[in-house]
Each structure stands twice: as C-alpha cells, then as structure tokens.
Amino acid sequence: MVRARTTLRGHIESVLFPLSLEVLGASEEEWRSATFPDLASKFNFLTACIEQFERDIPSSELTYLASVEDVIRYYKTPVARPKYIELRPQSLPLNVKNCDGEY
C-alpha cells in the first residue's frame, strides 16, 4: 500500500513538474511551493491537470488549491464512491422500484 502511494505521488509529480515550469514559470528547486499568480494561470494549470488525470475538480475545492503542493495533495486523495452506488436493490426503500429498463 505504501509503495502504491509512493508510485502515485511520483506519477502526479512527474506530470505536475513540467506543467508548473511551463504554466507558472516556477523554478526547478521550488516548483512544489509555486502559487498561482493570477486566476488565468490557475485556470490554465488546473485545466491541464484535469485533462492529464481525467479527474474533475469540483468548484467547492478550488478555494483550497493555492499552490502546486495543494494540487498534489488533491490528486493523491482517493475518490470517495457516492452513496447511491452502494445502494443495492434489497436496501432500497419500499417506495423505490429498481427499473432494469422495462417499463
């Protein structure tokens, strides 16, 4: 499990390192602590992240992403399964019918 997290962090960093140099003009030594100088840079950086990782960032999280390190932390966080996926037909309320495409 620790190795998987290390590999994941390495993959995230290998994608974000060149991106932070290109989009944010960060230095190679301090690229993780680079912040977004303006909203356009933040938009361009996060849009590229969304395309690379194929994982959207909800608007409720945007306020908390102020640096590249914050973005690394966000993409390291596992995606929680929505509760409705965990519902099974036997656990549905009586007033909810499970439709299998038949009407």
Cα three-residue angle 62-11-78, rounded to 5 degrees: 50
Check whether 49 has a pLDDT greater than 90.
yes
CB 46 within 8 A of CB 56: no
The pTM of the whole model exceeds 0.85: no
Per-residue confidence band for 40, with pLDDT thresholds at 50, 70 and 90: very high
- Residue 79 carries which DSSP code? P
Radius of gyration of the chain (CA): 19
Distance of alpha carbon 10 from the chain centroid = 15
- Per-residue pLDDT of 50-70, as tens digits, reads 999 999 999 999 999 999 999
The reported pLDDT for the residue numbered 33 is 93
Mean pLDDT over 20-42 rounds to: 93
The reported pLDDT for the residue numbered 2 is 45
Mean of all residue pLDDT scores within the chain: 82
The reported pLDDT for the residue numbered 9 is 66
